[in-house]
Amino acid sequence: MKQAEEEIRNLSFFDSLTGLANRRQLMELSRDSKAFGTFGVHKQAMLFVDLDDFKILNDTHGHQTGDLLLREVAKRLSTCVRKIDMVARLGGDEFVLILDDMGETVEGAAGMAKAAAEKILTEVGQPYLLNGRQCNSTCSIGVSIIEDNHQSISDVVQQAEIAMFKAKEAGRNTVFFFSPELQTALKFRATMEEAIRQGIKQDQFMLYYQPQVEHGQVIGAEALVRWKHPTRGILPPGEFISLAEETRLILPLGDLVLESACRQIAAWGDRKQISGMKLAVNVSAIQLREQDFVQTVLSVLDRTGANPENLKLEITESMLLDNVEDVISKMTSLKSHGLSFSVDDFGTGYSSLAYLKRLPLDQLKIDSAFVRDILVDEGSSAIAKAIISLGNAMGLSVIAEGVETEEQQNQLANLGCHCYQGYLFSRPLPLEEFELLLPSDNESASASFS
């Protein structure tokens, strides 16, 4: 009987995968004054640990490998704390540590918590041998100092989680401490997330078009999403894209953008003078990782009647390094249907030339950071020249983005780049204004930028 009761208790209070305390046991601490919030005059600290890019490892190597990693992380976390401390797994790749007896001052507790968190970053960041394969993982840590005896455990967990999200935003594999200002930021984030969700449902997102110019003529455009917010007006992507990606709302938003772009391509297909113009659409890493990404794109093309040869998908250089074989397979499949690909922000990542040679690319896009400094920084000029030379050697077109002055354009032309995008020619425009730059059916050329 006692053995059965012990087994039931273990199932109720311990995580079956890692053997750590589970969420229920953690929450029970709020009812046990000896364990939480009243450790004499001494402070406590909570660390919220979340693995970075765990989903990618799970999707790439399988859930069995993911489970092995979680077990190993649990062991390492346990070695980083004292017997009086507690380690719990909340679920998924989320862990919580409660550090006891952290001194009598907030400053002292913060210093001890930071040292513990940095030790965890180091330990979790060491390589893992899982099923005979070496894997790497890092984590982001949020810290909340428990200084109020009346705080509930759930409130402290939420505070530490808020700080963890800030650690993610700060670049991951780092530590961030909770502050009251973060609470306000969290409320704003939650409000924005719901507003994005409603905005997608209510068709508040629209496309603006920034022309791409060669020899003074518009030869294409990049479709850039804008949010017609009901109270804040037209918002650029910087106001919402990051949050959309964090919450995976980028998937329905990306579908909306692709659908709108393809409908426009179909509409332009009836106009002889611009029937060959390509429209570039940005694709996020989250979209590209979806198993049905290829079918999603092809379905949209079929549904809208858009010519695949007029659709160019822009992917960032960093995306090429994420599960290379899968990326190559998806790109090759879409390429066989007539789509083209451009590498956005080229020069900012670490793409191997061996990978680039295998990718079915059509265009390299020189990042605006190099264009901006091309006249004042020899390194930027040298990188731009190298990208242009690489494009020529691989038979790829090269376009420079962020061109704002004639001097920048002239320097790029001297280096061999003759296709541009930037405010020198036009800001991103709503459809009606952009179409004024295009030739009408009885004209032979678009508006001239020469």
Confidence at residue 6, expressed as pLDDT on a 0 to 100 scale: 53
Q: Which tokens sit at 421?
A: 């995008």
Burial 400-411 (b: 16+ CB within 10 A, else e): bbbbeeeebbeb
Residue 265, classed as helix, strand or coil, is helix
Beta strand 363-366 with 340-346 is parallel
Burial 293-321 (b: 16+ CB within 10 A, else e): bbebbbebbeebebbbebbbbbbbbebbe
Full DSSP string of 222-254 = EEEEEEEETTTEEE-GGGTHHHHHHTTTHHHHH
**430: pLDDT confidence band, cut at 50, 70 and 90?**
very high
Residue 448 phi/psi, 5-degree rounding, is -90, 135
User: Sign of dihedral through CA atoms 342, 280, 295, 249?
Assistant: positive
For residue range 4-44, list pLDDT tens digits in order.
455 555 557 888 899 999 988 888 765 454 445 544 567 89
Compare 30 and 254 and report the one with higher pLDDT: 254
Compare 296 and 447 and report the one with higher pLDDT: 296
Decide: 178 and 159 in contact? Cβ < 8 Å.
yes
Compare 449 and 207 and report the one with higher pLDDT: 207
* CATH numeric code, 190-435: 3.20.20.450
Decide: 383 and 364 in contact? Cβ < 8 Å.
no
For residue range 47-102, list pLDDT tens digits in order.
999 999 898 888 788 889 999 999 999 999 999 999 999 999 998 999 999 999 88
**Domain residue spans in the chain?**
2-178, 190-435
Question: Which segment of 42-51, 57-66, 187-196, 415-424 scores lowest on mean pLDDT?
Answer: 57-66
In DSSP terms, 401 is beta-bridged to 421
Residue 367, classed as helix, strand or coil, is coil
Identify the architecture of domain 2-178 in CATH.
2-Layer Sandwich (3.30)
CA distance 232 to 355: 43
Full DSSP string of 23-70 = HHHHHHGGG-TTTSS-STT--EEEEEEEETTHHHHHHHH-HHHHHHHH
Question: Which segment of 47-51, 185-189, 265-269, 417-421 scores lowest on mean pLDDT?
Answer: 185-189
Confidence at residue 319, expressed as pLDDT on a 0 to 100 scale: 78
**Mean per-residue pLDDT for 327-335?**
95
* CA end-to-end distance (rounded Å), the chain: 89
**Mean per-residue pLDDT for 253-276?**
93
Say which residue the tokens 């046990």 belong to.
32
**Mean per-residue pLDDT for 115-140?**
95
CA distance 379 to 376: 9
Confidence at residue 76, expressed as pLDDT on a 0 to 100 scale: 97
CA distance 79 to 273: 69
Confidence at residue 41, expressed as pLDDT on a 0 to 100 scale: 60
Judge residue 139's burial from the number of C-beta atoms within 10 Å of its C-beta, 0-12 exposed, 13-18 middle, 19 or more buried: buried
Task: Kindly report whether the global pTM for this prediction surpasses the value 0.75.
Answer: no
CA distance 141 to 176: 6
Is it the case that residue 261 has pLDDT exceeding 80?
yes
Confidence at residue 150, expressed as pLDDT on a 0 to 100 scale: 66
Compare 276 and 186 and report the one with higher pLDDT: 276
Decide: 166 and 144 in contact? Cβ < 8 Å.
no
Confidence at residue 436, expressed as pLDDT on a 0 to 100 scale: 94
Full DSSP string of 144-192 = EEE--TT--HHHHHHHHHHHHHHHHHTTSSSEEE--HHHHHHHHHHHHH
Q: State which amino acid sits at residue 28.
A: E
Residue 386, classed as helix, strand or coil, is helix
